[in-house]
Chain A
Amino acid sequence: MILVKNLTKVYGSLKAVDGISFEVKRGEIFCMVGPNGAGKTTTIECIEGLRKPTSGKISVLGLDPQRQSHLLKQRMGVQLQNAVLQPRMKVWEAIDLIGSFYPKRIDFEPLLEEMGLKEKKKAYLSSLSGGQKQRLFIVLALLHNPEIVFLDELTTGLDPQARRAMWQMVKDIREKSKTVFLITHFMEEAERLADRVAIVDQGRIIALDTPSHLISQFGAEMKVIFTLRDSLPSFSLEGIEGVSRVERAEEKVVVYGRGDSLVGDVVNLLLKEGIKFFDLQTQAPNLDDVFLTLTGKEMRD
């Protein structure tokens, strides 16, 4: 679907994208994740044909985004970060207008209903909530039944509930046998949605695989966290199989380790020793941990 080879984009002295190569397969949700300024938007905009790469090769649906942009535009759907329409436009006017630019269109009514915007057809764009606006932009990106859909920071600025709803909609797009190229700086979003994730930092891809492979490869360990009833007892959890280290600050204990039986073994040992504890929780490793392992940096919103 998409083939990128040695893509580089230089702005003045800044290398925004530094030799990126990857491939996106038909029908998958491919996600590029990384901190702000990592080069994600520049990459996606080069692929969409909005920017001209400094060097490297890009092919989308077998087309050159620069020289065959007119053909490509009819087959791709795009939701852009920081691009809106006039606030005094109405929902149906935006759909009618953008739709008229394409030779072939699908019936937008079911799409509008699916996105929960049916009642908003006559509303001004300025009256829509952040989530509704993003859903409208998805509708606008799907109007011409594109084969590939680009989504740039779709859920930034949305509350957690709207974000979750949006994730379901992205999965629904894939169900329509479209390919989705998504970029985000939320690791959780990448983990929940993506079939494959490319983690980018400072203009380079530092890891590319399925979320579960990335987690088992780089991530990182599970954490078992609990609080002791009293601070005195001395005990050793280091002996348990799979435990790599134990952190203890006053009553709070964090056990790091791997393996399916880790939690059970820790609890068993505590019970056997008669150690009283409460507030036990486990934290499965996630992509944030992967990012931390790979870059030594915390990934923050």
Chain B
Amino acid sequence: MRPLLKLLSVQIKLYLREPVAAFFTLAFAPMMLVLFATIYGNSPNPLFGGLGTVDVSVPAYLGLVIVTVGLISIPISVAAEREIGVFRRLKVTPFSPFLYLVSSVITNYLMTLLGSLILVLIGSLVYHMRFQGNVLSVFLAFTFGSLSFFSLGYLLAAVAPSSRFAMIVGMVLAYPMMFLSGASIPLEILPSSLKEVIKFIPLTHVVTLMRGLWLGDPWRAHLLEVAVLAGMMVGGAILSVRFFRFE
């Protein structure tokens, strides 16, 4: 247990010392929130069924934090650690490389959680956002969505030949998702011709699930989202364990 905790504390410090990763995980979504809340305020809007911009943005932006960590931070950092030889160095110690991955998952989850908490705190303290759901349900859905995207991220890290490759593929996957899933632009204002595309974007399912539960939907109203995300989580985890290379 002691080595795992040491590694965890080092990894968290390293994460926070990486300015780009720390910014995109912790500051980017809150910045967007402040920006759009300043422009649109949070007064009820018929477009959002009587809710305000902040009320619908906060759960959607949770998807933004998740996709940033899952498809950008994880692939780059894990591929870079393999590249510079961190795993090789650990392999000559009695520490298990598998525990290294466990610690990496926990670190990334804690960072995603921290970024999300900052977002939610700004939403509720500054903009008095409305919340009609169940805190535990939303927390579970957030964890579930995070892990399903982490699965994809570790799969990408597993197959990427270099950290540059991981970065490029991660960004190519992540950026269109951010705009075509409702994570940054509400689906309500996107043209309906895009709807066919949008439902095939994995992040859409995270955003839809988060927004639904945020408003108090029961889980059974979101079986499709749950099924897609569960498939991603399990499939990604199996494939990344299968293909993961420590060097």
Contact = CB atoms under 8 A, between A and B. Distances in A.
A102 B85 contact: no
A85 B80 CA distance: 10
A97 B226 CA distance: 39
A80 B92 contact: yes
Interface stretch (A56-64, A88-96, A159-167, A281-289): A88-96
B85 A88 contact: no
Interface in B84-106: 84-86, 88-95
A73 B94 contact: yes
B94 A102 contact: yes
B93 A101 contact: yes
Given A50-B92, A73-B93, A73-B94, A97 B14 contact: no
Contacts of B220: none
A80 B89 contact: yes
Given A80-B89, A97-B10, A86 B81 contact: yes
B6 A96 contact: yes
A100 interface: yes
Contacts of B34: none
Contacts of B81: 86
Nearest to B85: A83
Q: Size band of the B side of the interface? A: 20 to 34
Contacts of A50: 88, 91-92
Interface centre among B3, B18, B93 (most CB of A within 10 A): B93
A93 B81 CA distance: 16
Contacts of B242: none
A58 B81 CA distance: 30
B14 A88 contact: yes
A97 B3 CA distance: 7
A70 B94 contact: yes
Q: Size band of the A side of the interface? A: 20 to 34
Given A97-B7, A101-B94, A102-B94, A84 B89 contact: yes
Contacts of A88: 14, 17-18
B195 interface: no
A99 to B, nearest CB: 9
Contacts of A103: 94
Interface string B1-42: 011001100100110011000000000000000000000000
B86 A86 contact: yes
Nearest to A70: B94
B94 A80 contact: no
B109 to A, nearest CB: 19
B114 to A, nearest CB: 18
Given A73-B93, A73-B94, A98-B93, A84 B85 contact: yes
B94 to A, nearest CB: 5
Nearest to B11: A86
B86 A85 contact: yes
21 contacts: A50-B92, A73-B93, A73-B94, A74-B94, A78-B92, A80-B92, A83-B86, A84-B84, A84-B86, A84-B89, A85-B84, A86-B81, A86-B84, A88-B14, A97-B3, A97-B6, A97-B10, A98-B93, A100-B2, A100-B6, A102-B93
A-B CB proximity, top 6 nearest: A83-B85, A101-B95, A78-B92, A83-B88, A101-B93, A100-B6
Interface of A: 48, 50, 70, 73-74, 76, 78, 80, 82-86, 88-89, 93, 96-98, 100-103
